[in-house]
Structure 1
Amino acid sequence: MTTKSTTAAEPVRTRPGRHPSPTTRGRNRLNGLPWILPAFVFVAGLIYYSVGYTVYISTLDWDGLSPTAVAVGLGNYTDMLADPVFWASLRHTAVFWAVTFVVQTFLGFTLAAIMHSRVRLATLHKVIIFIPTVLAPATMAPVFRLFFADDGMVNNILRAVGLDALAHPWLADAGTALTVIMMITIWQWTGLWFILYYAAMSQIEPEIIEAARLDRAGNIRTLWYVVWPACRGTTVSLAMLSFIGALKTFDVPYLVTTGGPYHSTEFLGTYIYRQGIRQAHIGYAASISIVLLVLAIAGAIIIGRANRRRAGE
């Protein structure tokens, strides 16, 4: 009995249906379209359209209500370059981001490291640290205004301990109002930093920590050379979030000081609101909004590239 052998030149037949036909692949793509269509419409139809419309409005001299608007081209942008309040708000935003990011990173990382050690009532401590993050600024703003008032708790404590010379209206002083705003923000958002660092530290293999202990590395050296590099991804993400958040800062300075005194707590967000809503300079407010968007995108790109370059090194 003879059998038919397959030669090297004869193509090997595969079972039908193993690879989908071009028609089937096209049908699969169409079947997935309804799932992504709402997100596509939302992004392209709302966000991108809104950005484009804001760019258009930034070229107008318009109060937002009159039926006619005067086209000024780049006039709003040139006025912005000569506006001292704009530069002051930009400087306040930069200082605000640098200080709050550094302090929140230090506090969040330190608290997370402490909570990973043997601490009694650790769950209660975690809840206490995280509570300010979930509190609405609108409910806390009146409390802070009373807290830092001339006859508030801060000055009463200073007077009680014999430091009457330091007691003064903190929010009415242009030299200390921005510091108070940064303190409130640090109090509010350190809990988020703590939670993210705590989660990042939980992903570190215990064997790595034990190896550092066997090499006689102390707590500080272990944190600096082992734990801190392992949390670099979290730090970069927080840097991006805090940078964009600083550019959009509005609620705390507006509710506590309304940007004063003498624009000492003016931020880009509060200045956009002041120009667009309070003074009806819609075109000028739109131009500041476009600058804010460009700064946010550029900052995120720069931070991301710096992180990738450092990771490559």
Structure 2
Amino acid sequence: MRTTSIAPAIAPVTRDGAPEGRRHDGRRRFTRLSNYLFVLPAVVLMAAIVYYSIAYTVSLSTYETNGISPRRTFVGVENYLRAFDDPGFWSSLRNIGLFLLLVPVQMAIGFAFAVVISSGIRAAIWYKIVLFLPVVLAPAIMAPVFVQMFAPGGPVNDLLTGVGLGGFAKAWLADPDTAIGVLGLIFIWGGTGFSFVIYLAGLSQIDRQVIEAARIDGAGNLRVLGSVVLPMLKGSSVTLVVLGTIGTIKTFDIPQIITQGGPANSTQFLATYIYQQSVKNYAAGYGAAMTVLLVVACLFLAAAQLRLARRGDT
């Protein structure tokens, strides 16, 4: 009877005598370790700047201090309780709530422009530039323009007078009843361009054959938009809602530059009110407490919106 012996498989051996597979494993471990070492300085720097700042702000919120003198008085949660009893705090939250209602307005206008321009109109590139211009213009540049526009002798009042509506001319930014409305118009103007770009990018990713199939089935333009296009842009819409909500809660530059929170605190937002209390009123501890509340509100709303979006996908 003939027997056949099978030689055991032997791993290739490199010149230094180590199996080739083991050498590759060592090389992968070295590569992974070197990647961590390259990232480590950035992580340490971020931790030192960001997380230390957060911890310091939380700690500062438990003291009564002007932020300049080293003397501090520990007050625990008193600064937080003070915020809930402060009319200025609630007034700033009310204005934030009003501006949150304008986020869907920005999105609707941006979506309408995106649909029109994606349809292939002439000179579309120029419309894109005009619509996106508010996004790239710094608020510090545009704020003086708006101040002049709505001044008593500005173009807005001149236009009203020219069309026979001079009785409606007023100092728009000096009236508590109209100042917040003017800021609302500026807010819509500044955010529409961003919504337009996001929706335009989303529309460019939609397969045209899907839209054509819907039209063949007899769907009109509005039905196609409502039943085909909008559902396919859900990711873009969720992104805009989350970013718009967080941006609205953090609103600072436009109201601070144009109205400084006035007149009579009618245009205060939480960020501007924090600045007023911390810097102008030397209540750094109280300002830190409101800052903590601001960060918590942003995190909570963002998490809630993302959770609702994921629930809608299931």
TM class, shorter-length: over 0.9
Q: Which residue of structure 2 lines up, in the alignment, with residue 43 of structure 1?
A: 46
Q: Which residue of structure 2 lines up, in the alignment, with residue 252 of structure 1?
A: 254
Q: Which residue of structure 2 lines up, in the alignment, with residue 118 of structure 1?
A: 120
Task: String of CA shifts for 1:204-244, please: whole Å, max 9, x gaps.
Answer: 01111111111121111111111111111011111111111
Q: Which residue of structure 2 lines up, in the alignment, with residue 63 of structure 1?
A: 66
Q: CA shift at 1:27, angstroms?
A: 3.0
Distance in 2 of aligned mates of 1:109 and 1:291: 33
Distance in 2 of aligned mates of 1:131 and 1:31: 43
Structure 1 letter corresponding to 2:237: T
> What secondary structure, in the 3-state scheme, does the structure 2 residue paired with 1:246 have?
helix
Q: Which residue of structure 2 lines up, in the alignment, with residue 4 of structure 1?
A: 5
Task: String of CA shifts for 1:17-68, please: whole Å, max 9, x gaps.
Answer: 3466875554333211222113311332211111011000000111111121
Q: Which residue of structure 2 lines up, in the alignment, with residue 135 of structure 1?
A: 137
Distance in 1 of aligned mates of 2:111 and 2:11: 58
Q: Which residue of structure 2 lines up, in the alignment, with residue 31 of structure 1?
A: 34
Distance in 2 of aligned mates of 1:3 and 1:197: 71
Q: 5 Å matches for 1:228-307?
A: 228-307=230-309
Task: String of CA shifts for 1:225-267, please: whole Å, max 9, x gaps.
Answer: 1111111101111111111111111110011111011111100
Distance in 2 of aligned mates of 1:14 and 1:197: 56
Q: Which residue of structure 2 lines up, in the alignment, with residue 168 of structure 1?
A: 170
Task: String of CA shifts for 1:109-147, please: whole Å, max 9, x gaps.
Answer: 010000111311111111111111111111111111111
Aligned to 1:94, which of 94, 97, 106? 97
Q: Any unmatched runs of 5+ in structure 1?
A: none
Distance in 1 of aligned mates of 2:173 and 2:309: 38
Distance in 2 of aligned mates of 1:2 and 1:67: 92
Structure 1 letter corresponding to 2:96: T
Distance in 1 of aligned mates of 2:152 and 2:22: 77
> What secondary structure, in the 3-state scheme, does the structure 2 residue paired with 1:171 have?
helix
> What secondary structure, in the 3-state scheme, does the structure 1 residue paired with 2:76 have?
coil
Q: CA shift at 1:3, angstroms?
A: 3.9
> What secondary structure, in the 3-state scheme, does the structure 2 residue paired with 1:175 have?
helix
Instruction: Name the CA shift for 1:19/1:234 in 2 (closer, same or farther; >3 Å).
Output: farther
> What secondary structure, in the 3-state scheme, does the structure 2 residue paired with 1:73 have?
coil
Q: Which residue of structure 2 lines up, in the alignment, with residue 201 of structure 1?
A: 203
Distance in 2 of aligned mates of 1:20 and 1:32: 18
Distance in 1 of aligned mates of 2:276 and 2:78: 19
Structure 1 letter corresponding to 2:208: P
- CA RMSD of the aligned region, Å? 1.9
Q: Which moved more, 1:165-174 or 1:13-22?
A: 13-22
Distance in 1 of aligned mates of 2:311 and 2:95: 29
Structure 2 letter corresponding to 1:34: L
Distance in 1 of aligned mates of 2:310 and 2:64: 42
Distance in 2 of aligned mates of 1:67 and 1:31: 43
> What secondary structure, in the 3-state scheme, does the structure 2 residue paired with 1:112 have?
helix
* TM-score normalised according to structure 2 size: 0.92
Q: CA shift at 1:4, angstroms?
A: 2.4
Task: String of CA shifts for 1:68-111, please: whole Å, max 9, x gaps.
Answer: 11111111011111000001101111211221x11110011010
Distance in 2 of aligned mates of 1:105 and 1:116: 16
Structure 1 letter corresponding to 2:57: T
Structure 2 letter corresponding to 1:81: F
Structure 1 letter corresponding to 2:238: V
Q: Which residue of structure 2 lines up, in the alignment, with residue 146 of structure 1?
A: 148
Q: Which moved more, 1:189-198 or 1:165-174?
A: 165-174
Structure 1 letter corresponding to 2:160: L
Identity of aligned residues (%): 43
> What secondary structure, in the 3-state scheme, does the structure 1 residue paired with 2:261 have?
coil
Distance in 2 of aligned mates of 1:124 and 1:209: 26
Aligned residues: 307
Task: String of CA shifts for 1:2-22, please: whole Å, max 9, x gaps.
Answer: 64248xxxx876665346687
